[in-house]
Amino acid sequence: MIVLVDEATARNPAAEKELFDALGRFPGIEVRVHRVRGAEKTVTEVYLIGDTHRLAVEDVSVLPGVERVVRVSQEYRVIGRHKDDRRASGFTYNGVEFSQDSLRVFAGLCAVDTPENADAMFSALASFGQTTTRMGAYKPRTNPYAFQGHGKSCLPWVFERAGRHGIRVIAMEITHESHIDEIAECLEKAGRPTGVMLQIGTRNIQNFELLKTVGRQTVFPVLVKRGFGITLNESLNAAEYLASEGNSQIVFGLRGVKTNLGDPHRNLVDFAHVPVVKRLTRLPVCIDPSHSVGSRERAPDGVPDLMHVTAQGVAAGANMVLVDFHPQPAKALVDGPQALLLSELGWFLEDVALARAAYEKRRALALSHAAAQASPAP
Ligand code: PEP
Ligand code: MN
């Protein structure tokens, strides 16, 4: 059961505590408080865990300070959509909005290598007014002898340079809980020139202790990427782990799944699941065409496969695109073959805008169809 606290009570700590205490007095009930930061206000949601089936919605809704009570009927208590659930989707971080209606492109380096390449990337982004990027510092690699990322040592100059170019959010994978503190400390020392969205990669999606730790902090939002060898339901449960621990500033990422039926792409592209994730949850959905397709190959029409699948995902309503670029892909230390060139950034963004416009028209068409069905002409 979810209890939404009314605004006046949420602004009054004493009144709020009284409500939490009252909720905690219901037998067999554990109370978990979530603060959801939106663009205009912070919403306080209280999750009642335990014997809630013995609890009547009416007994909870009459308590002072309760705005509304939602009975959770299906899976994904926190991130899911429930009957009469009018909770908002999405969040705002460092001035950037993420929701099921917005679209953000995170073009950047798969792995940070040199300051020159990071600078070239940031400058290219700035020239197109982009304020979000990807920069991997901690790289989970299949081969133990492969480059593992510069780790903590590159963070000061990455953050400082990103800030100088107006970057507000960097998606950065972490592979161990200690990386959260390293990122937080470096950001603090640098004077918070930018922000970070922590990324849980496909290989760590069932690292439950990591999920719990990341979920317990609410400083950084989280991009959680679908597991490449597990079901969608199992992957969404990873997002629920984060949310159940208190952090519901989550974006869910599709990045292809492992099966030879996807050959010759690196993974089988799964962007048909964009609307599915939006229906099952209130999370903004990201697509990662780079790790799905894995190459810069072009179709006979001249469009790279990578852009074709991006357009498919965006036309289906994706809210974020995570995509690899590199100034010199041949020299990239990680995933060079799938990186687009900086000279292709403008083209890529224009192609995304076309697909987004198509999505907006498709959405309007669906709405007008529904309206016509609801009130058929006499
Ligand atoms: C990445 O985005 O750099 C990455 C390693 O992705 P994934 O976890 O999806 O393989
Ligand atoms: Mn990669």
Pick the ligand that lies closest to the CA of residue 226: 1
In this model, does residue 144 exceed pLDDT 80?
A: yes
Strand partners, 287: 254, 321
Residue 321 sits at φ, ψ, to 5 deg, of -125, 120
Report, as an integer, the average pLDDT of 334-343.
Answer: 97
Q: How far apart are CA 254 and CA 24, in angstroms?
A: 38
Q: Where are the alpha helices (DSSP H) in 131-196?
A: 155-164, 178-189
How many residues appear in the chain? Answer: 378
Residue 210, CA distances (Å) to 48, 74, 79, 93, 156 in order: 24, 25, 18, 22, 24
Least confident of 109-113, 290-294, 373-377: 373-377
Contact at 8 Å (CB) between 353 and 128?
Answer: no
Nearest ligand to the C-alpha atom of residue 339: 2
pTM score: 0.93
CB-count burial class (<10 Å; 0-12, 13-18, 19+) for 295: middle
Query: Residue with the nearest Cα to atom 9 of ligand 1?
Result: 202
Share of the chain above pLDDT 70, in %: 99
* Chain segment 5-41, per-residue pLDDT in tens: 999 999 999 999 999 999 999 999 999 998 887 767 7
Across 58-83, average pLDDT: 90
Count H helices and E strands in the chain, helices first. Answer: 12, 15
Of the candidate ranges 61-75, 175-189, 208-222, the one whose mean pLDDT is the lowest: 61-75
Is the CB of residue 3 less than 8 Å from the CB of residue 60?
yes
Collect residues with CB below 5 Å from ion ligand 2.
110, 335
Nearest residue to 31 (alpha-carbon basis) of 22, 39, 23: 23
Q: Which of 25-39, 42-56, 229-243 has the highest mean pLDDT?
A: 229-243
Which whole number is the average pLDDT over 142-148? 96
What is the arithmetic mean of pLDDT over 65-71? Answer: 92
**pLDDT at site 39:** 66
pLDDT > 80? residue 262: yes
Give the pocket of ligand 1 (CB within 6 Å). 110, 136, 173, 201-203, 225, 255, 288, 291
Report the chain's mean pLDDT, rounded to a whole number.
95
pLDDT of residue 37: 75
Separation of alpha carbons 212 and 69, rounded Å: 26
Pick the atom of ligand 1 nearest to 111's CA: 3
73 pLDDT more than 80: no
The mean pLDDT value for 127-135 works out to 98
Distance, in Å, from the CA atom of 125 to the CA atom of 319, rounded to the nearest integer, reads 18
3-state secondary structure of 52: helix
